[in-house]
A and B are shown apart, each in its own frame.
Chain A
Amino acid sequence: MSAQSAIRNPQSAISITFTLNGSPVSLSIDSAERLLDTLRYRLGLTGTKEGCGEGECGACTVYLDGLPVNACLVPTYQVRGSRVETVEALDPERLEPFLAHGATQCGACTPGVVMTALWIRAHPELLETHTIRELMAGNLCRCTGYDGIVDAVATGHGPDLGRR
């Protein structure tokens, strides 16, 4: 759909510049736009999903300046000057353990799950204070029962580390 039809609102436009998946982007956005809507409907990056719209399910997880956040709770104007990364920027080679362990079923939660999971894998020091299950708790999955996801995150971290 065209961006205009998605969010046409008699409201003020804001011009912003930020880094999206490694490249600079300049956009005129509506002040009421959520980052989730900007990504999905304005930029066509539909990998980021909406599961609840209240920051509960994590299906819209993206990285904002390197940390996982819910794109449904970020007003787009707040990312000016920041780095945003979405599932589209991930290296598919890092996803092999997720295939092998059955970490995806219906796939609706999956892009968000993968974003959080790869963030954990990139920061193994987190597992000194946290379990994988606590760190993944912001990504609801209704299909897998979480074992496939937790096992995929734990792959290569030793048999029991953080798995509980």
Chain B
Amino acid sequence: MTVLLPETEREALEMLAAANGAAVPIAGGTDLLVYWPVRVEARDRTYADLSQLQALKPLRWSDGELVLGGLTTYWDVIRDERIRREFPLLVAAARQVGAIQIQARGTWAGNIVNASPAADGVPVLMAYDAVVVLESLRGREEVPLDRFYTGYKEMQRRADQLVVAIRIPRRPYSYQVFEKVGSRRAQAIAKVGLSVTRSAAGWRIVAASMAPTIRRCPSLERLLEDGTALRGPDDLLPAIAQDVSPIDDVRSTADYRRRAMARVLYEDLRETCGWV
């Protein structure tokens, strides 16, 4: 196993470029180190350690946006009073990522590039129209998060690129909710995750654990934009069927996921949307 130990962002980008795609960037390690001793094959790879890149740690505010650094952790966000007020879903989601031990180490950028379909951080970022900022020796590139994933664990990041920031536009939200259906209250992996927001930019409905990637649900969003009157959770099922494709796995069943998603969405939105 080889570890590259850059001290600056520039060094990191040079090392990633020189490694020719073979180096895996490691930030908090909370995904990569799981069952480390048992995973013999994981120890035959090359890693680029980001832990010394101090410049990527802080989060920043400007008039128009909140920018999370490439190494900003969940705990950084949980402890930020202003985020609690302006982007409450970020805090709600962060508090659902493991517990303090994980929140203290895990990063938002890591959550994005780990690309788990059950991620907790990605859905709220997506519901806030976050943009992924990628840096490489070849320059800077920005990809809206809702177009970042191209398939299961596939994304628009080249191996020489580093997520150096996540840009989140500041907007007034008239509606925002984060729901995580897990098998227990704390430290569970989502069986269904939902983030719903409404702003001048329109409705955003983002689903987790319902498809090979975290994704927005265009049919459901259209339903809300159109103000369609619904009579019960079942009326959401056709749109859900168009937007997502849940599976049976060790944590839950496809049927449960669809029905729980429909019921949670319906009950959450019923009053706002004037449904019966």
Contacts and interface: CB of A to CB of B under 8 A. Distances in A.
B36 interface: yes
Given A53-B38, A81-B52, A138 B101 contact: yes
B33 A72 contact: yes
A14 B2 CA distance: 10
A138 B96 CA distance: 11
B139 interface: no
B25 to A, nearest CB: 12
A58 B35 CA distance: 14
A119 B103 CA distance: 14
A75 B29 contact: yes
Sort chain A's interface into a size bin. Answer: 35 or more
Interface in B1-40: 1-3, 5, 26, 28-30, 33-38
A90 interface: no
Contacts, number: 104
20 contacts: A9-B1, A11-B2, A12-B2, A12-B3, A34-B33, A53-B36, A55-B98, A56-B98, A67-B75, A67-B104, A68-B100, A70-B30, A74-B33, A75-B3, A75-B29, A78-B51, A129-B78, A134-B95, A135-B100, A137-B185
Contacts of A73: 28-30, 33-34, 36, 102, 105
A74 B3 contact: no
B99 A58 contact: yes
Interface in A38-88: 53-56, 58, 61, 64, 67-70, 72-75, 77-78, 80-81
